[in-house]
């Protein structure tokens, strides 16, 4: 807090120089100085903070006035004193720009609050209003004034009007019997406006604008709060969402206002990214340029607020990004333009350099705006045009001459425009660098057909006809004029991206199919328009991954995952994935709602990993870990919700706890986009525990069986948001014949004496993915003890060989691309690793590892595998897993290279480090032959012995 007096706080100017500059540069300040000499002598000796506090205190006394004329006079006299005081603080550098706008807003709050209190007291005297607290008439009054725009954000300018919305609650307002609330509060509001803005011999307080209220041409100046809430929730437009970002209760019943804004949170801050809203806000900016003629950057006569590179562009730059991301990130919900610029940078939506440029430009333009308004106390935002006035304005603004001001102002405006244009103004014309692209009318445009041909499309007339059909609204996605308008804007870039797919016609047909299945197009097209890189990624999907394109057509909202600033950054680990889900899905969410939210979240997260894999910016191993961590976090969250509901209905089991074991690809962090979940629920309880302690008691087995059933239902059932995962629980003890939930004791006994060899092989990939950590330690110890038992090598080898032979008998494999089951395929690599772990873990438990890659490395490091064998296994496994990840993402069913998209074949060839598909298939055959030979060498292929569990030594 500044404890210096005003005169001691002056920066680079003496008091005499400051007063002279004020007199010569502003007739308005000259008049104020002449009429407030006594106040001037007081303020120069006071600290600025004390002066402002006293002005606001005197303003508050207007509420106690004996009549309206006296209240009016107090408010206007204090406004004049404030104008002189703030003007001198601003020009003298006593306050920085943010303190100036905050001071103006503090006075506006005090003025409006005092005026409302005065009018309520006036109604109290008339017997029409009965306050709950006579000393604080606004408390619980059921009438609230919302400050909007710059006032709401504490950013008022020197000669600002104030934007207000006035609401009332007819059910809680303490009015006298027989007083009709609507009539009462409308009249009160008109009196409020008159008290603030009528010009008297003492001037005015604030020009007041109520047009930001819902549907101002059809509604009264004060609106019932329930009607306003319903309007915003069901009819509110996107520009109104942007306006409500800065809304703030400033007078009247503050608690009522806060409750109202809290109710509007879902309306303002959408749960999902909403690029259609951004198009609306941007169209407002374009209308401003078109109607007011602010299309070009100038200096003299330039509008500092609405012109190109001006204050409004900085505000829109911030607000639109708040609308995009604020629904998911509460940090971006602030009212202050500057604070939100900094937060946008901190959250990586913009660069720190951009934030710094925009902040400097904002305060420089606000300073000039204040100077322009100080001259004659006019609500102007324009720089003077005439030479003499411009020179005077430059000196008044602290510049040596007009040239210095011109240079800095033009550079500032261009810097703002560049940042703004980079964010918003990427609208394409009707052509590309390759030529014309026009799809209007009923006939083909010859120049357009030439352009399509030059881009690599061989079916130009068919493509042109299809695009014309889109514009006739033949698909649901194209039924609205807005959808057709935005698609027209993005069409050149879209066709260019599709043409780069390797098979342009096939990619276009995939996009057409995608479009045909879309229920609506505005959201998607607006998102693409706002994020040009999305077009390239969408074309990548269309040209490479028909399976993913099909999923996209039914759930286009998952594309939102792509536009986060960190999409191509480091992948999130399990902790970050969990934190992300915790934001989306609190633990107290009801299970039915949780299942939908979980599906949306998991689909988006998996799409993120899939698209990163498709764009070849992460490895197959990274993708497998990402898919697996996402599944584990989803299981953990759903288990928590299920347990909470069960305990609410049935109470708790004494000493009870449960966990989920992940096996197979989930256990080994090797899931693909199409993997199901191999899981097992294990539970435990205190010795002697019987029924649960709730109103509807259940035995431990009943309790945890129902937990399992609800968990599986939550993972598998088809909801309005689609499916989540398929679940396989056949790896539990006794398979499908055993109980769904397995007790710790039963699990331990089964693994010790009854488990088959294949079940112990599966156990090498088992890990706890969710549940009770104390129980997890016990289960991990049981698994380790089971796997570390010494076994008869020959018997295990025979069992494994027999299992492999039976698999080949049951599933005849002919395709080279059956990478899992083909002789020499991924299953044989996994069997080798699992077999060696089973027969050698008793010697060295360190070789136990759920992930196949890591298990092979540990086996070689521990001396149980030769280096050459390790290299062959790892080389083949890397290719198998990479190709499998791609194929599961891109193709439904079997893979046929001759009918696959060229781009997919090219990606597979790159994975194999080969020039083309023929060389890739040759390399694949070599790997399979090598792995088959290693399998035969280590395990054998006679398969004539039993598969029953071997006797332990």
Tens of pLDDT, residue by residue over 406-424, are: 999 999 999 998 888 777 5
Q: What is the pLDDT of residue 87?
A: 94
Above 80 in pLDDT, residue 440?
Answer: no
Lowest mean pLDDT among 340-354, 356-370, 605-619, 663-677: 605-619
- What does the longest C-alpha to C-alpha distance in the chain come to? 113
Instruction: Report which DSSP code applies to 791.
Output: B
- Other Cβ atoms less than 10 A from the Cβ of 785: the count is 13
- Residue 279 pLDDT class (50, 70, 90 cuts): low
Q: What is the pLDDT of residue 894?
A: 85
Average pLDDT over residues 489-509: 84
Q: How far apart are CA 684 and CA 774, in angstroms?
A: 10
- Residue 563 pLDDT class (50, 70, 90 cuts): low
Task: Answer whether 256's CB lies under 8 Å from 225's CB.
Answer: yes
Q: How far apart are CA 503 and CA 360, in angstroms?
A: 48
Phi (first) and psi of residue 813, to 5 degrees: -110, 125
Average pLDDT over residues 35-46: 93
Burial 413-426 (b: 16+ CB within 10 A, else e): bebbbebbeebbee
Q: What is the pLDDT of residue 942?
A: 66
Phi (first) and psi of residue 378, to 5 degrees: -110, 150
Q: What is the helix, strand, coil percentage profile of the chain, to 5? A: 60, 5, 35
Average pLDDT over residues 262-272: 84
Above 80 in pLDDT, residue 560?
Answer: no
Tens of pLDDT, residue by residue over 595-626, are: 999 998 998 888 889 888 888 888 999 999 99
Average pLDDT over residues 40-49: 93
Q: What is the pLDDT of residue 274?
A: 52
Average pLDDT over residues 861-888: 94
Above 50 in pLDDT, residue 800?
Answer: yes
Tens of pLDDT, residue by residue over 461-473, are: 999 888 877 876 6
Above 90 in pLDDT, residue 499?
Answer: no
Q: What is the pLDDT of residue 944?
A: 44
Report the percentage of the chain scoring pLDDT > 70: 93
Q: What are the beta bridge partners of residue 128?
A: none
Above 90 in pLDDT, residue 654?
Answer: yes
Above 90 in pLDDT, residue 898?
Answer: no
Tens of pLDDT, residue by residue over 140-170, are: 999 999 999 999 999 999 999 999 999 999 9
Tens of pLDDT, residue by residue over 104-134, are: 999 999 999 999 999 999 999 999 999 988 8
- Residue 543 pLDDT class (50, 70, 90 cuts): confident
Tens of pLDDT, residue by residue over 186-234, are: 999 999 999 999 999 999 999 999 989 987 877 899 999 999 999 888 7
Q: Which residues contact 586 (CB under 8 A, 6 or more apart)?
A: none
Q: What is the pLDDT of residue 469?
A: 78
Average pLDDT over residues 859-872: 95
Average pLDDT over residues 362-389: 91
Tens of pLDDT, residue by residue over 658-700, are: 999 999 999 999 999 889 999 999 999 999 888 999 889 999 9
Average pLDDT, the chain: 88
3-state helix/strand/coil string of 528-551: HHHCHHHHHHHHHHHHHCHHHHHH
pTM of the model: 0.60
Above 50 in pLDDT, residue 294?
Answer: no
Q: What is the pLDDT of residue 141?
A: 96
Q: What is the pLDDT of residue 795?
A: 93
Q: What is the pLDDT of residue 327?
A: 85
Task: Answer whether 444's CB lies under 8 Å from 464's CB.
Answer: yes
């Amino acid at each position: 807090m500044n404890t210096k007096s005003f005169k001691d706080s002056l920066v680079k100017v003496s008091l005499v120089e400051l007063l002279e500059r004020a007199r010569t540069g502003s007739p308005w300040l000259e008049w104020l100085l002449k009429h407030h000499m006594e106040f001037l002598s007081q303020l120069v000796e006071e600290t600025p903070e004390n002066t402002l506090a006293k002005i606001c205190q005197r303003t508050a006394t207007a509420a106690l006035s004996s009549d309206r004329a006296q209240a009016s006079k107090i408010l206007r006299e204090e406004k004049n004193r404030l104008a002189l005081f703030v003007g001198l603080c601003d020009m003298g550098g006593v306050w920085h720009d943010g303190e100036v706008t905050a001071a103006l807003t503090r006075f506006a709050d005090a003025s409006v609050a005092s005026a409302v209190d005065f009018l309520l007291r006036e109604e109290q005297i008339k017997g029409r209003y009965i306050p709950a607290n006579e000393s604080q008439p606004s408390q619980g009054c059921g009438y609230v004034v919302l400050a909007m725009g710059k006032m709401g954000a504490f950013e008022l300018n020197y000669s600002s009007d104030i934007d207000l919305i006035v609401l009332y609650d007819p059910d809680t307002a303490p009015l006298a019997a027989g007083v009709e609330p609507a009539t009462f509060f409308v009249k009160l509001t008109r009196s409020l406006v008159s008290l603030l803005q009528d010009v008297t011999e003492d001037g005015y307080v604030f020009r007041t604008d109520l047009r930001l209220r819902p549907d101002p041409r059809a509604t009264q100046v004060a609106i019932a709060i329930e009607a306003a809430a319903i309007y915003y929730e069901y009819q509110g437009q996107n520009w109104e969402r942007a306006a409500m970002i800065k809304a703030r209760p400033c007078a009247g019943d503050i608690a009522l206002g806060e409750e109202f804004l809290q109710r509007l949170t879902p309306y303002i801050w959408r749960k999902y990214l909403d690029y259609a809203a951004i198009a609306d806000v941007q169209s407002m900016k374009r209308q401003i340029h078109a109607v007011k003629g602010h299309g070009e950057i100038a200096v003299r006569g330039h509008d500092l607020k609405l012109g190109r590179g001006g204050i409004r562009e900085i505000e829109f730059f911030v607000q639109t990004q708040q609308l995009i991301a604020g629904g998911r990130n509460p940090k971006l919900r602030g009212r202050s333009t500057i604070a939100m610029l900094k937060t946008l940078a901190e959250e990586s939506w913009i660069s720190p350099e951009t934030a710094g440029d925009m902040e400097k430009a904002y305060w420089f333009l606000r300073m000039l705006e204040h100077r322009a308004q100080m001259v004659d106390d006019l609500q102007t935002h324009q720089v003077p045009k005439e030479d003499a006035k411009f020179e005077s304005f430059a000196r008044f603004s602290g510049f040596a001459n007009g040239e210095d001001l011109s240079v800095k102002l033009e550079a500032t405006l261009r810097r703002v425009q560049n940042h703004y244009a980079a964010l918003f103004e990427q609208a394409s014309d009707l052509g590309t660098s390759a030529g014309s692209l026009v799809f209007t009318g009923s006939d083909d445009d010859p120049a357009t057909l030439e352009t399509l041909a030059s881009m690599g499309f061989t079916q130009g007339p068919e493509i042109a006809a299809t695009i014309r059909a889109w514009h006739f609204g033949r698909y649901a996605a194209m039924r609205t004029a807005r959808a057709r308008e935005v698609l027209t804007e993005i069409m050149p870039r879209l066709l260019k991206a599709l043409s780069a797919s390797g098979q342009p016609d096939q990619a276009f047909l995939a996009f057409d199919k995608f479009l045909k299945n879309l229920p609506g197009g505005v959201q998607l097209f607006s998102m693409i328009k706002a994020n040009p890189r999305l077009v390239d990624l969408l074309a990548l999907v269309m040209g490479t991954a028909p399976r993913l394109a099909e999923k996209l057509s039914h759930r286009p909202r998952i594309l939102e995952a792509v536009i986060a600033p960190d999409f191509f950054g480091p992948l999130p680990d399990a902790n970050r994935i969990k934190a992300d889900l915790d934001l989306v899905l609190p633990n107290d969410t009801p299970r039915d709602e949780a299942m939908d939210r979980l599906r949306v979240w998991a689909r988006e997260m998996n799409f993120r990993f899939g698209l990163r894999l498709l764009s070849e910016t992460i490895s197959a191993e990274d993708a497998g870990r990402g898919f697996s961590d996402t599944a584990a976090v989803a299981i953990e969250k759903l288990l928590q919700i299920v347990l909470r509901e069960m305990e609410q209905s049935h109470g708790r089991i004494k000493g009870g706890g449960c966990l989920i074991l992940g096996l197979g690809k989930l256990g080994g962090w090797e899931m693909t986009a199409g993997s199901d979940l191999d899981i097992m629920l294990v539970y435990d309880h205190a010795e002697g525990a019987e029924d649960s302690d709730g109103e509807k008691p259940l035995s431990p087995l009943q309790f945890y069986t129902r937990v399992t059933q609800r968990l599986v239902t939550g993972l598998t059932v088809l909801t309005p948001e689609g499916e989540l995962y398929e679940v396989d629980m056949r790896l539990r003890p006794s398979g499908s014949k055993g109980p769904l939930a397995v007790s710790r004791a039963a699990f331990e006994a089964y693994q010790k004496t009854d488990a088959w060899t294949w079940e112990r092989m599966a156990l090498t990939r088992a890990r706890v993915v969710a549940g009770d950590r104390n129980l997890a330690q016990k289960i991990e110890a049981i698994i380790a003890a089971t796997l570390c038992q010494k076994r008869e090598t020959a018997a295990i080898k025979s069992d494994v060989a027999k299992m492999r032979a039976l698999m080949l008998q049951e599933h005849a494999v002919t395709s080279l691309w059956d990478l899992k089951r083909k002789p020499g395929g991924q299953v044989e690599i996994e069997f080798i690793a699992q077999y060696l772990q089973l027969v050698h873990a008793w010697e060295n438990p360190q070789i136990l590892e759920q992930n196949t890659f890591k298990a092979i490395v540990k086996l070689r490091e521990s001396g149980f595998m030769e280096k050459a064998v390790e290299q062959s296994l790892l080389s083949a496994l890397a290719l198998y897993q990479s190709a499998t990840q791609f194929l599961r993402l891109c193709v439904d069913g079997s893979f046929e290279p001759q009918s696959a998209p060229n781009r997919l074949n090219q990606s597979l060839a790159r994975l194999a480090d080969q020039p083309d598909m023929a060389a890739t298939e040759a390399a694949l055959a070599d790997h399979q032959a090598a792995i088959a030979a290693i399998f035969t060498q280590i395990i054998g292929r006679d398969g004539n012995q039993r598969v029953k569990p071997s006797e332990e030594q």
